Amino acid sequence: MGISKSEAASALADIESTTGRGRLLKSYQVGGPILMVWGVVWAAGYTAMGVLPPERWGLAWLVLDAIGIAATIVLSRRARGAAQGGAKAGQGWKTMASVFTILAFIAATFTVFRPTSLDPAMVFPGLVAGLVYSGVGIAYAPRYMWIGASVFAATLIGWFFFQPWLAFWMAAVGGGGLFVGGLWLRKA
């Protein structure tokens, strides 16, 4: 017994969509804990901005970002080890290059626009993070779109309605949002 060409094509399409779905779910499970780490970094960083004088913010973020980047590298390597070479080679470095590009973009924007008060500088990373996650979500992995949109919206809500408590708002809603988003990805 044989099958028709269209039946065979449909079966091959089923195989392709199943493996694609598997890859997507795996990427969520790898990305979830990393997003949770960055949620904690955000929460700690913005809390520091709420309680420390501005001249110490830079050092606080430097330390926290270094911890976040180190944790990202460790978690990515562990995930790649679990997949025993299943992940594409060099993916970790591409991720790190993307992170540095985004940080360079934020630094360049500050240099060009020179915010006159601290509040715009505080919300800008939230808007950029929301944009990046939404873009990744639209292009590759839909769950990131919802996380990005939530961070973007939460940042704007903080800007318009909670400016006196902006640092704590960004710590709780931004950091908390990323953490909850990471949990959601991990459970995928």
Partner 1 sequence: MSVAELDELIHQPLRLKIMAALHAERDAEPVEFSRLKAVTQATDGNLGSHLATLEKAGYVEITKDFVGKKPRTRAALTPVGRKAFRRHVDYLRAVVEGVDGDVT
**3-class SS letters over 56-122:** HHHHHHHHHHHHHHHHHHHHHHHHHHHCCCCCCCCHHHHHHHHHHHHHHHHHHHHHHHCCCCHHHHH
Nearer to partner 1, 21 or 56 (CB): 21
Q: Determine, following the binding rule CB under 8 A, whether residue 91 of this chain makes contact with partner 1.
A: no
Nearer to partner 1, 146 or 162 (CB): 146
Q: Determine, following the binding rule CB under 8 A, whether residue 14 of this chain makes contact with partner 1.
A: yes
Q: Determine, following the binding rule CB under 8 A, whether residue 15 of this chain makes contact with partner 1.
A: yes
| Buried/exposed code over 136-172 (b: 16+ C-beta within 10 A; e: otherwise) | bbeeebebbbebbbbbbebbeebbeebeeebbbbbbb
Q: How many residues bind partner 1 (CB under 8 A)?
A: 24
- Smallest distance, partner 1 to C-beta of residue 76, A: 16
Q: Determine, following the binding rule CB under 8 A, whether residue 78 of this chain makes contact with partner 1.
A: no
- Smallest distance, partner 1 to C-beta of residue 183, A: 16
The interface region with partner 1, picked from 4-12, 39-47, 117-125, 160-168 by CB under 8 A, is 4-12
Residue of 72, 83, 92, 134 that binds partner 1 (CB under 8 A): 83
Using alpha carbons, list the distances in angstroms from residue 84 to 71, 89, 93: 20, 11, 18
Name the residues that contact partner 1, by CB under 8 A: 1-5, 7-9, 11-12, 14-15, 18-19, 21-23, 25, 82-86, 188
